[in-house]
Structure 1
Amino acid sequence: MSRSTHFPVIIEQDKNGVYIVSCPMFQGCHSYGYTMEEAMENIREAIQACRDEMADISEASTRFIGLRDLEVTL
């Protein structure tokens, strides 16, 4: 029986309009897509591949805490 698990995903867009997606739960888990839908499907596959490499999610090297907005004077 399979179960669903929620993973945080960070979405950015580069200067060419390409969506860059990352899952901070797994080091090096990144993908991209030319549409939001494509990017989300690609990161889903990347997360599944990263997850398959780990025997148990509790073995993750990091634990996602959240996102904060930080103001920096430049």
Structure 2
Amino acid sequence: MKRTYRYTIVFEKDEDGVLIVSVPALPGCYSHGRTVEEAEQNIQEAILCYPEGLQEVGEDIPMEEELRFPVTKPIQVSLAV
């Protein structure tokens, strides 16, 4: 039986400009790419492989909980310098 899971992915650029992408709900699930599209495709492949490792140690596939991760919102502040 196939089941659909939804996960938040996080993109960050390293010092060489390569995009590092991770899945906070799946500890240790990382990938990378030179473009957003490449990084997204690579992390999808990593996510598909992730359950294999869990099955080997008898663990369930983690589900992402709503609002588990920080929500970012830009704010403006004035500082006296």
The two structures have a TM-score, normalised by structure 1, of 0.70
Structure with greater Cα Rg: 2
Q: Could you say what the CA RMSD is over the residues aligned between the two structures, in angstroms?
A: 2.5
Correspondence for 1:42:
42
Give secondary structure in 1 for the equivalent of 2:20. strand
Distance 2:27 2:7 in 1: 13
Which of 45, 66, 69 in structure 2 is aligned with 1:66? Answer: 69
> Per-residue CA shift, 1:9-64, capped at 9, x if unaligned?
1110112211000011122110100111110011101111112333532xx3x855
Runs in 1 of length 4+ with deviation above 6 angstroms?
none
Alignment size in residue pairs: 68
In the alignment, structure 1 segments of 5+ residues that lack a partner are 70-74
Instruction: Give ranges in structure 2 of 5+ residues lacking alignment.
Output: 73-81
Question: Percentage identity across aligned positions?
Answer: 38
